Amino acid sequence: MAAFDLIIRGGTVVDGTGAKRFTADVAIKDGLIAQVGTVSGDADEEIDATGKIVAPGFVDIHTHYDGQATWDQEMAPSSWHGVTTVVMGNCGVGFAPAKPDRHEWLISLMEGVEDIPGTALAEGITWDWETFPEYLDALEKLPRTVDIGTHVPHGAVRAYVLEDREQPGAVPTEDDIAKMGQIVEEGVRAGALGFSTSRTVLHKSVDGELVPGTTATKEELLEIGRALGRGKQAGGHAVFEMASDLQRDWNEFEWMGQLSRENGVPVTFAALQSIAKELPLDEQIETMRAENDNGANIVAQIALRGNGIIMAWQGTVHPFRFRPSWQTIEELPWAEQKAKLLDPEFKAQLLSESNDFSEAPQDILPVVAVISMGWAMQYEMDPGFDYEPTEEETVQARAQAAGVDPQEYAYDMLCREDANGFIYLPILNYADKNLDFLHPLQNSDDTVNSLSDGGAHCGTICDAASPTFMLQHWVRDRKRGDRIPLENAIKRQCHDTAKLYGLEDRGIIAPGYLADINVIDMDAIKLGKPWLAFDLPAGGKRLLQKADGYVCTIKNGNVTFRDGEWTGATPGGLIRGPQRAELAEAAE
């Protein structure tokens, strides 16, 4: 009988702690790392990692697989990018608790906020739960390529307690708030990793209504914080996660600091350059740090590239969405739409028209205008597109160089590749037309790399590829500014994200930790071209993006992906509460 299940031989280990890389073998036994160093025993399988990076599996703490996780074992696209653990239920949206008459309402909430096709959710979700603990039980039934953990989502909690009274601006009674707290505490005791809410006008249901939580009072949020504290004292883990517009008069950081201090729980929020936020990003960080200096534990989640939209004719949005001619064909089957779009007469008619914004959401008209006419903020997605594009790559600049009107140039871009062209529009995190402002934050303990939104915004983004982008762009290829050392990049995507959520059994390559590992060819690491697939239940669409350079991904000692292809292994499961590593001495 072999001494080990798997040995990774001769790789360059980047262990997740931030320490300098070193050459070593890694031996795995019973799903755990058994030895790191020179391993003399044999194994059922060996992987030659000479010249390759051996790093922990990536831990992605901001995803929206709440529906997909109930039916999908592969958990793409995150699993294609070295991710072995995901945390979902972010931004206050999710599917538990759920009374039978609120299923459609919760689907409409998720579809509106996260752009996940409602038809796919309606067909894919079986709804064999009502309470949050029952939802966890349902998730536990299906093995996957990755581990999943989740928050208790504010939207579902409010809908469960307030029922038909849940309307924008609804003010719950003291009894309502107490019931919400009980549900949250029950969820944490059952294994939820925290609670999430959303307080941004950009998050609306498919019917255009503000999501629950947007107008929640300080008293409601603090009571939920107390429930998290009680759940933590009972042995659970309790992160308070939030997306917010951070309006100055809301004093968000004041109650965030109070909630964290009084209950001993971390509060984490999406920190972005955004036209919807009154506070500039540097002021967000400064205000957060003032609260932390006063005993709070607030952590900023930051993205590593511009957050925005990939626009396409078949995507959720494109620049011509509000032209009358488009509206005459938007409900047609794709084949008929494409024939019209490629017709010179139809093109000339559409380009002669003005936008009709009467049906557009009036409170986000600046965003709608940028989508429809912001040619100086939109970029042509060439083969090998660099997600830190220059001014010369804008639609406006390239149209001017070609002697063409920008709107015609954009139209023709979308019509390339048989009408499957893409335009990139970074609405967030690209105000300076570069990513320099993110570099200093890579050395801060009060920020974590996050906001991939894996599984969400199916028709507009594919930021689930963020770990690959980190390696390709920030570590290896960045030309317009400073890069990130590989050791720091791996630490931030493994150890730091895992630690925030109490997952102290992963994110580090050392004896006793979970054998969640990536073997990476850094010379070959490369993002593939995104494409629109229609492979969700009911033919729902989603943007997908693969990557080269992952020699293999290992979860709990099992190889789940080889050279980017799923092996069929499903060693992942449900995470319940905090996890601790029983550190073992190196086996003899």
Give the model's confidence band at 213: pLDDT under 50 very low, under 70 low, under 90 confident, else very high.
confident
Q: Is the pLDDT of residue 496 over 60?
A: yes
What local confidence, expressed as pLDDT, does residue 278 receive? 80
Q: What is the pLDDT of residues 390-428, one digit of tens each?
A: 999 999 999 999 999 999 999 999 999 999 999 999 999
pTM of the model: 0.97
Cβ neighbours of residue 549 under 8 Å, at least 6 residues apart? 468, 471, 472, 520, 521, 522, 523, 524, 525, 526
> Per the structure block, which two tokens stand in for 218?
């300080």
**CA atoms of 147 and 152, how far apart (whole Å):** 17
DSSP code of residue 332: S
Q: Is the pLDDT of residue 97 over 50?
A: yes
How much is the average pLDDT of 559-565? 98
How much is the average pLDDT of 468-480? 97
Residues 286-309 as b or e (16 or more Cβ within 10 Å = b): ebbbebbeeebbbbbbbbbbbbbb
What local confidence, expressed as pLDDT, does residue 276 receive? 62
> Per the structure block, which two tokens stand in for 309?
């939209």
The full set of domains in the chain, from first to last, is 59-306+430-504 (3.20.20.140), 309-427 (no CATH)
Give the model's confidence band at 53: pLDDT under 50 very low, under 70 low, under 90 confident, else very high.
very high
Percent residues over pLDDT 70 in the chain = 98
How much is the average pLDDT of 552-578? 98
Cβ neighbours of residue 532 under 8 Å, at least 6 residues apart? 312, 314, 315, 420, 459, 541, 542, 543, 544
Give the model's confidence band at 587: pLDDT under 50 very low, under 70 low, under 90 confident, else very high.
very low
Give the model's confidence band at 583: pLDDT under 50 very low, under 70 low, under 90 confident, else very high.
low
What local confidence, expressed as pLDDT, does residue 209 receive? 86
Cβ neighbours of residue 420 under 8 Å, at least 6 residues apart? 312, 313, 314, 531, 532
**CA atoms of 110 and 117, how far apart (whole Å):** 9
Integer angstrom CA distances of residue 151 from 29, 183, 217: 31, 12, 20
Q: How many CB atoms lie within 10 A of CB 420?
A: 14
Q: What is the pLDDT of residues 9-32, one digit of tens each?
A: 999 999 999 999 999 999 999 999
To which residue do tokens 């996780």 refer?
A: 69
Q: What is the pLDDT of residues 236-271, one digit of tens each?
A: 999 999 999 998 888 999 999 999 999 999 999 999
How much is the average pLDDT of 520-539? 96
Contact 152, 195 (CB under 8 A): yes
What local confidence, expressed as pLDDT, does residue 124 receive? 97
Burial class (CB in 10 A: 0-12, 13-18, 19+), 167: exposed
Contact 171, 227 (CB under 8 A): no
Q: Is the pLDDT of residue 291 over 80?
A: yes
3-state helix, strand and coil shares in percent for the chain, rounded to the nearest 5: 35, 20, 40
Cβ neighbours of residue 390 under 8 Å, at least 6 residues apart? 433, 480
- Considering only CA atoms, give the Rg of the chain: 24
DSSP string, 228-248: HHHHHHTT---EEEEEE---G
Nearest to 523 by CA among 549, 543, 541: 549
Q: Is the pLDDT of residue 586 over 50?
A: no
What local confidence, expressed as pLDDT, does residue 13 receive? 98
What local confidence, expressed as pLDDT, does residue 455 receive? 96
Tell me: cis bond preceding 133? Omega within 30 of 0 counts.
Answer: no
Cβ neighbours of residue 396 under 8 Å, at least 6 residues apart? 375, 376, 378, 406
What local confidence, expressed as pLDDT, does residue 308 receive? 83
What local confidence, expressed as pLDDT, does residue 275 receive? 66
